[in-house]
Amino acid sequence: MKYTDNQRIQIILKYAHELLQYVKDNKIDKDMISSNQIIQWTVTTPLYNIGEQVYQLTNSFKQNHPDVPWNMIAGMRHRLIHDYVGINWYIVTEAIFKPLPDLVVKLDALVEE
């Protein structure tokens, strides 16, 4: 199925909200992500789904919203999928606790446009 950019943004927001809620509800901190393989598996699934949706956005959409680090988000997805053994968990945890909430705010604003 071919999704519109707006539908992809909605999917990204769904995964991001669910991931952030999971982390909050389960009182997951950075150390837990860095050391617990089950939690790592759990948090990476929504991250690579977010990255895949970003990767599939049209170039014109991404160019019209240059304040979002689209390439970094898609790049994280590629790293999570293709180099799982080499993942830097510090980068993953930092992404979950700072840029992801910021991304949600930016994308919520795009949906309201």
Residue 20 · residue 103 · CB < 8 Å: no
In this prediction the pTM is 0.90
Active site residue 77: yes
| Residue 113: per-residue pLDDT | 65
Classify residue 68 as left (phi > 0), alpha (psi -120 to 50) or beta. Answer: beta
The residue annotated as part of the active site, out of 8, 17, 65, 77, is 77
Q: pLDDT per residue over 45-83, tens digit each? A: 999 999 999 999 999 999 999 999 999 999 999 888 887
Give the residue numbers spanning the domain of 23. 5-112
| Residue 112: per-residue pLDDT | 67
Q: What is the DSSP string of 42-82?
A: HHHHHHHHHHHHHHHS-HHHHHH-TTS-HHHHHHHHHHHHH
pLDDT band at 102 (very low <50, low <70, confident <90, very high): very high
| Residue 18: per-residue pLDDT | 97
Residue 5 per-residue DSSP state: H
The mean predicted confidence, pLDDT, of the chain is 93
Active site residue 82: yes
**Total domain count, the chain:** 1
